Amino acid sequence: MLLERYPQTITLKDGTELVLRAMRKQDDRALMDFFEDLTDADRLYLRNDVSSYRVVREWFNNLNYNRVFPLLAVQDNRIVANATLHRKPFGWMRHVGEIRIVVSPKFRKKGLAQTMFRELIQTAEEADLDKLTAEMAVSQTGAIEVFRKLGFKEETTLKGYIKDAKDKVHDLLIMTLDIRKA
């Protein structure tokens, strides 16, 4: 059921057409190209060293849509955004998912992040999740604003909790969205 919605064509605010689809094992090189095109500032807060082919290749070796659902936005076979829904299939957090997203600078402020988030929220609802979380540095004001527009609320801030790629310490903001009302 999860994959039946894809691929699908979407139109951004500026009229640009993109295809949304699930990531496939053969997308490893295209995903590396996507990450290489990001600026140093874009990569600063990413959780993984996306400049390492070994790290990215491991994602493809362990591709399991039930644990991590990676949704790509593609234009002319080139990845322009990567959004993921992370789930734990068992345990006390099995009802909670985490959303992450990275959008190419050329495709920001066109509604792409919001569209992809809505797709992942629908995916989370279909997976019977109750709550979504998102984590980011307090200084990532653009990302925070996108999450607010989607209904996420600021839950807590952990002081000095993360280090960016340059080893600078930042506060971590955790935002949540209840997608099922108890």
Per-residue pLDDT at 181: 61
Per-residue pLDDT at 73: 98
Q: What is the pTM of this model?
A: 0.91
Asked, for residue 14, whether it belongs to a domain, the answer is yes
pLDDT band per the 50, 70, 90 thresholds, residue 182: very low
Number of domains in the chain: 1
In whole angstroms, give the CA distance from residue 131 to residue 166.
Answer: 32
CATH number for 95: 3.40.630.30
User: Which one is predicted more confidently, 135 or 41?
Assistant: 135
Q: Supply φ then ψ for residue 76, to 5 degrees.
A: 50, 50
In whole angstroms, give the CA distance from residue 133 to residue 95.
Answer: 11
**What confidence tens digit (pLDDT) does each residue in 102-156 have?**
999 999 999 999 999 999 999 999 999 999 999 999 999 988 998 999 999 999 9
Asked, for residue 22, whether it belongs to a domain, the answer is yes
Asked, for residue 140, whether it belongs to a domain, the answer is no
Per-residue pLDDT at 51: 84
